[in-house]
A and B are shown apart, each in its own frame.
Chain A
């Protein structure tokens, strides 16, 4: 013990500890630097290519600053957060000033919205049903600022609530699924059991029933919008039971449904929100139930810039081009497409009223 102490004193005098520590620190510093540089190098090389044929709009006359707060999905969720951001990027090309904040958890919603409000942004978007309460609270605290929300109804004069008639679009993909299935078994994978997703399910079931009431539709809710593993598990169970077409309305969970389908043959997935055949390929993507969130976000933001902002509910269905099938559907035969168009006409002129499943 004594020996040890003496050694310590000697070492301290000679600065042995210090030198050793310094060396170690220096080496690790250099290592970290090298690694970080290498990583940054990679990142710059793999920058994604330019997207083809973006719509070009008339430049805006007034300056406008529009911000959006995503829910926990983030702007690269291959789903509505991403779609909303694409709408704002389109506004940017027309001369608007846009930015986004990704929420890390539900507690972030309010401060993130406030970040835009206090920063003097003209219009602030909250993307998704889960942000309803936060938008309501902040809109009431800041009656002078303006807000938009997707998929929820917030009753305040300074909020535009944009909701979609998902049941109408889902009805059409239901028709496609019913006319495509060979086993007469179809699946529906939902995210959380919330009213918006209920609308997808109800419309889809109605569409299937309109074509063939004997088809067996299996419905499953995963309880998540982000855990792709759950989607893969649900899809595997369904496909194993003879289902050959699955419609998912589950955000990131749907990635797992596509993943499972890609490992099998002779099965289809119907995508949601965006044309998901772009991401997952035409081999497994039958079609997609498009929800034109980008269009809605763009239109409302542009209205604001042109001085036509009005709070209230905007409901977009087939007639308003808010939902529908993608422009190109290589996997849908002409016969099916004609049937789809017929149903579409009937829904638009009110001959068929698709129930939404919620009061």
Chain B
């Protein structure tokens, strides 16, 4: 009990909690001024997300890709890199998985794992490009990953159009069922919700994230590079190779997310007119989760629940969808302002010291 309460009072836990409640409360106040009943609205949101077995299944479906992209952004961040390219790595992962799913004809026991693994590898390579450019030429990863996002988007559209297109449609053919991550016994159990086993892979990835960073020598090196690359180099760590490794692993998480979304939910890839936003939501998830493995899962859970439940608010209480976007923005704002609090305190601290 004591350990639990101590854990709850830790800064990394209590500030996100306060931020979430502050966001919800201010969202409620805005709703009240707009003439809506916030209690009804939040209840409708909750009911939509968890009120029945179908809702639970679809909520998990919404959360799953966010865990992957959240982990991708968080992992890079812990090693001192800002991976804005999770979006592109996600797209490349889905494209690769779709290729394997459509072009190959294999028994399910090989086909499905192969599609997942290839998706992860291609995502990793895509992230690795940015890592390589940073390590070898010092090109900032923010620039390269943003540009690689666009390249991924249009490359994927081009390849779908030329190789995978179903006639007269804006999407690829359907993947062979042997590559699917969704199974009818599971979807039947959840009343036709599109829940799939990608969720378990996501949790597995979070564990891998934790083990690599906290329990392995490699992770120690990666974190050292993130904290202070000069010190790390002085200590004999190869900074350049660690930058590439970090971007590859980060890209793998995002690529796996893309693969899992295709194999589990859509079973085809569409020609995208614009980004779907999984990678950008991943930045919010990582921020909410304090760039930690478990935190990212919680962050994805929160963001996924809010976005999926929002349509329930629309029908149940007449609250427009925009309100939930305000609430999400407020929550992220409050989490981000944790840094402002910290800096402010540090600055005051120094001042006081000087006075003394």
Chain A residue contacts of B138, Cβ below 8 A? none
Partner of B29, one of A20, A33, A111: A33
CB of A130 within 8 A of CB of B170, answer yes
B49 to chain A, nearest CB (A): 10
B33 touches A111 (CB 8 A): no
**B20 to nearest A CB, angstroms?**
15
CB of A36 within 8 A of chain B?
A: yes
Q: Does B168 contact A (CB under 8 A)?
A: yes
- Do A36 and B271 touch across chains, with their CB atoms under 8 A apart? no
B312 adjacent to chain A (CB < 8 Å):
yes
Query: Are A192 and B271 also in contact (CB < 8 A) when A21-B341, A102-B321 are?
Result: yes
Are A20 and B271 within 8 A (Cβ)?
Answer: no
> Is the pair A192, B344 in contact by a Cβ cutoff of 8 Å?
no
In the complex, per-residue mask of A109-137: 1 if CB is within 8 Å of any chain B CB, else 0 = 01110111011000000000010000000
A107 adjacent to B266 (CB under 8 Å): yes
Q: Of B26, B58, B193, which contacts A32 at CB under 8 A?
A: B26
CB contacts (< 8 Å) of B169 on chain A: these are: 194
Closest Cβ neighbor of A194 among chain B residues: B170
Q: Which of B321, B341, B349 contacts A24 (CB 8 A)?
A: B341
Contact check, B315 vs A110: say whether CB atoms are below 8 A apart: no
Distance of A8 Cα from B274 Cα, bound (Å): 50
Measured between alpha carbons, how far is A193 from B314 in the docked complex, in Å?
33
Q: Is B99 an interface residue (CB 8 A)?
A: no
Asked whether any CB of chain B lies closer than 8 Å to the CB of A342, the reply is: no
B352 beta carbon closer than 8 Å to chain A: yes
B127-178 contacts to A, CB under 8 A, are 157, 168-170
Please give, as numbers and ranges, the residues of chain B lying within 8 Å of A225 by CB-CB distance: 273
User: Are A115 and B312 CB-contacts (below 8 A) given A36-B30, A107-B266?
Assistant: yes
Contact string against A for B residues 312-351, beta-carbon threshold 8 Å, 1 for contact and 0 otherwise: 1011000001000000001000000100010011001100
The A86-109 residues at the B interface (CB cut-off 8 A) are 99, 101-102, 104-108
Please tell me if the beta carbons of A224 and B273 are within 8 angstroms of each other in the complex.
Answer: yes
Chain B residues lying within 8 Å of A193, measured Cβ to Cβ, are 170
Number of interface residues of B (CB under 8 A): 43
Contacts of A119 in B (CB 8 A): 315
Judge whether B34 is part of the interface by a CB distance below 8 angstroms.
Answer: yes
List B contacts of A101 (CB < 8 A).
311, 314-315
Judge whether B245 is part of the interface by a CB distance below 8 angstroms.
no
Least Cβ–Cβ distance between B90 and chain A, in angstroms: 13
Let me know if B58 and A17 touch, CB within 8 A. Answer: no
A122 to chain B, nearest CB (A): 15
Please determine whether B276 and A105 come into contact, CB atoms closer than 8 angstroms: yes
Chain A stretch 163-204: residues in CB contact (< 8 A) with chain B: 192-195
B43 at the interface (CB under 8 A from A): no
CB distance from A29 to the nearest CB of B (A): 7
B203 lies within 8 A of chain A by Cβ: no
Does A3 count as interface, using CB distance less than 8 angstroms? yes
Number of A positions contacting B (CB below 8 A): 44
B352 and A7 within 8 A (CB): yes
| B179 within 8 Å of A (CB atoms) | no
- Is A37's beta carbon under 8 Å from chain B? yes
B5 is an interface residue with CB less than 8 A from chain A:
no
Given contacts A21-B341, A40-B30, A105-B276, contact A118 B270 (CB under 8 A): no
B26: chain A residues within 8 A (beta carbon):
29, 32-33, 36
Task: Tell me if B270 and A115 are in contact (CB < 8 A).
Answer: no
Is A42's beta carbon under 8 Å from chain B? Answer: no
A79 CB–B CB distance under 8 Å: no
Measured CB to CB, the nearest residue on chain A to B308 is A111
Q: Scoring B residues 264 to 278 as 1 if CB is less than 8 Å from chain A, else 0, what string do you get?
A: 011000110110110
**Known A223-B157, A226-B274: A104·B307 in contact at CB below 8 Å:** yes
Rounded to whole angstroms, the CA-CA distance of A226 and B271 in the bound complex is 14
Given A107-B265, A111-B311: A3 and B62 within 8 A (CB)? no
Any chain B CB within 8 A of the CB of A46? no
A1-58 residues at the B interface, CB under 8 angstroms? 3-4, 7-8, 11, 17, 20-21, 24, 28-29, 32-33, 36-37, 40
Q: Complex: how many Å from CA A227 to CA B273?
A: 8
Report chain A residues within 8 Å CB of B312: 115
**CB of B192 within 8 Å of the partner chain:** yes
A278 interface contact, C-beta 8 A: no
CA distance A50 to B257 in the complex (A): 47
Whether B353 contacts A226 by the Cβ 8 Å rule is: no
Contact of B54 among A114, A116, A224 (CB under 8 A): A114
Q: Which A residues are CB-close (under 8 A) to B265?
A: 107
Chain A nearest CB: distance from B347 CB in Å?
Answer: 11
Contact of B315 among A4, A11, A115, A226 (CB under 8 A): A115
Given contacts A106-B270, A223-B273, contact A37 B33 (CB under 8 A): yes
Whether the pair A118, B353 counts as a contact (CB closer than 8 A) is: no
C-alpha gap A152/B265 in the complex (Å): 22
A309 nearest CB across to chain B (Å): 22
CB distance from A140 to the nearest CB of B (A): 10
B3 sits at the interface (CB 8 A):
no
The 3 nearest A-B residue pairs measured at CB: A224-B273, A111-B58, A40-B33
Q: Given contacts A4-B353, A119-B315, could you give 11 more A-B pairs where the C-beta distance is less than 8 Å?
A: A7-B356, A20-B344, A20-B348, A24-B341, A99-B314, A99-B315, A106-B266, A111-B193, A118-B52, A130-B170, A192-B271
Chain A interfacial positions (CB closer than 8 Å to B)? 3-4, 7-8, 11, 17, 20-21, 24, 28-29, 32-33, 36-37, 40, 99, 101-102, 104-108, 110-112, 114-116, 118-119, 130, 141, 192-195, 223-227, 358
Instruction: Show the binding face of B for A, using Cβ within 8 Å.
Output: 26, 29-30, 33-34, 48, 52, 54, 58, 61-62, 157, 168-170, 192-194, 265-266, 270-271, 273-274, 276-277, 307-308, 311-312, 314-315, 321, 330, 337, 341, 344-345, 348-349, 352-353, 356
23 chain-A/chain-B pairs, Cβ below 8 angstroms? A7-B349, A7-B353, A24-B341, A24-B344, A28-B337, A32-B330, A33-B26, A36-B33, A99-B315, A106-B276, A107-B265, A111-B58, A111-B193, A111-B311, A115-B48, A115-B311, A116-B315, A130-B170, A223-B271, A223-B273, A224-B273, A226-B274, A227-B274
